[in-house]
Amino acid sequence: MKMKEIVYQEEYIENARGVQLFTCGWWLCSSSPKALVFICHGYGMECSGFMRECGTRLARAGYGVFGIDYEGHGRSMGARCYIKKFENIVNDCDDFFKSVCAQDEYRGKSRFLYGESMGGAVALLLHKKDPAFWTGALLVAPMCKISEKVKPHPVVVNLLTRVEEIIPKWKIVPTKDVIDSAFKDPIKREQVRSNKLIYQDKPRLKTALEMLRASMRLEDTLHEVTLPFFVLHGEADVVTDPEVSKALYEQASSRDKTIRLYPGMWHGLTSGEPDDNIDIVFSDIIAWLDRRCNTDTDMDSFPAKPVLPSSNNGFIERFVTSSPAAAVMMNGKQRQRNRSYLCGLKGRRSFQHSAM
């Protein structure tokens, strides 16, 4: 079978705060995408390398896929992995994603959010910002609630909050090696570790507090989630608790919601498992998208299914039915383009590291 050629694009944009952000996209050379998928990557991660497999797989399945490195992440500018306000990440994603949707060739296409880990929180907050805009969301091991197992004591949070404006960028938050805990396959684990665009130092004080606050805000409002979603989680995940995804599934008000729990799989469902497991996960993701990429689909065409316990192959499903130099200037400013188009994902790319 002939391998489908993929267009890969890179572009820098400038956000409302004057910071240059790296963006990229994947789609088939030969046809218009049947729907759009927007990537929200995890904490410390980036799109052009770490999320490349996700982008190419979904593009090969016929989707247009677009990602953005958050400020301070990957190839975007800003202090490395410093999140001054979680709201800034959400607003930057909202501006970029909607600028893509507004392009003539994409008007009328279904629009899906794809969030991994912390990116799951970003995706849900994007939905809360504009509840009617998004067609649906894929949430892979999302950070949308703080597990009781790891929730910090209120006294600790209070003490850290008192000094966050004095030493906001200090890397003083103790953490375990997340890479060792998240990626099961040793070869893939080392590939992640060798990616210099991935942040591997201790979290900065204000960053950790902003992530905590975002999770707590979501935890208190899970019932306000109304868009169709598919949440996927490894049952052996020790980075984000699978109980968090169960809580989202149980409390969300969405009419169309699906959860799949994968026995024995870790946090890195799409990038850290053996190849066979990754194939299973992406097969599930693409099947879910394919059923929903037509905006004319009648929700009543999805039959209601009983909820199965996670011991039944780790699957639960229910459909509840009822009636740099040149940047693209956002927020109405002039747009100047500096793009790189690559078919077959071959070609030269210039890497730009964020400031420490």
Q: Which of 114, 127, 98, 334 is nearest to 222 (CA)?
A: 127
Instruction: Write the single-letter amino acid at 283.
Output: S
Taking alpha carbons only, the member of 171, 206, 267, 247 closest to residue 83 is 206
Catalytic residue among 245, 267, 284, 354: 267
Contacts for 223 with CB less than 8 Å, ≥ 6 apart: 251, 252, 253
Whole-angstrom distance, CA of residue 123 vs CA of residue 232: 14
Instruction: Say if residues 330 and 14 touch (Cβ distance below 8 Å).
Output: yes
Residues 6+ apart with CB under 8 A from 196: 353
Token couple for 219: 């935890």
| Per-residue exposure over 198-207, b if at least 16 CB sit within 10 Å of its own CB, e if not | bbeeebbbbb
The one catalytic residue in 69, 92, 185, 237 is 237
- Please say if 233 is a catalytic residue: no
Question: One of 76, 117, 254, 354 is an active-site residue; which one?
Answer: 117
Q: For this structure, is 237 an active site residue?
A: yes
The alpha carbon dihedral of 70, 71, 74, 79 has a sign of negative
What residues are labeled active site?
Answer: 117, 237, 267
